[in-house]
Copies of this chain bind each other. A is one copy, B any other.
Amino acid sequence: METFKAHLDKFIKIDDEEFSSIFSYFQILDVKKKHNLMLEGEICRYKYFVLEGCLRKFFINEKGVEQTTEFAIENWWISDTFAFEKQIKTEFNIQAVEKSSVVMIDFKSQEKLFEKHPIMERYFRITYQRAYAAAERRIRFLHEMSREEMYVHFSSQYPWFIQRIPQYLIASFLGFTPEYLSEIRAKLRS
């Protein structure tokens, strides 16, 4: 709870009383490693904020292989934004990469939250703006870089990426086979 307050403090000015009221719209959930928080084909009910741990979002491609499109560590939100806003079935899955503790909110509670605490519009305006800015850059990387270059880029920009994420999930994120990732790592080491 203090973690979430400290996070909000970076974006908006609220006192303890207002925070208590804001926090009453959210729920806390502790999940084990590999727990599924969202399943393809189900209504996307929640968006998740990571207090501790790591989540990933993935879909199953035509060949039946899991393709990870996003990771979220501490202080990141993760959801299927499109399906959440429309309250429709999602085409993604969200799973815990590590034992994790998350804050979550459902769509109706979020609507009530905005009504009661419009300051949260500002908080989510800034966080969506940053998420969109990151996505714009990522789209450029997907055009510009080879998958090998992306591995080098993520490794240098986000040290947690290679320290915390299991190799088979890094491979799933970059669209490699685990064997090919091992080859690249060996090549980079030499």
Contact = CB atoms under 8 A, between A and B. Distances in A.
Interface stretch (A18-26, A123-131, A157-165, A179-187): A123-131
A4 B11 CA distance: 28
Q: Which of A85, A118, A143 has the most CB of B within 10 A?
A: A143
Contacts of A133: 81-82, 85
A29 to B, nearest CB: 22
A175 B137 CA distance: 17
A138 B125 CA distance: 21
SS class, residues of chain A in contact with chain B: helix
Size class of the A contact interface (CB-based, 8 Å): 35 or more
A6 interface: no
A167 interface: no
Contacts of A80: 136
Given A118-B122, A135-B136, A139-B139, A144 B85 contact: no
A67 interface: yes
A120 to B, nearest CB: 9
A135 B144 CA distance: 17
A189 interface: no
A74 B16 CA distance: 43
Contacts of A131: 128, 132
Q: Which of A70, A92, A124, A138 has the most CB of B within 10 A?
A: A124
A142 interface: yes
A137 B82 contact: yes
12 contacts: A61-B143, A62-B144, A67-B143, A69-B143, A80-B136, A81-B133, A82-B133, A82-B137, A91-B140, A118-B122, A124-B125, A128-B131
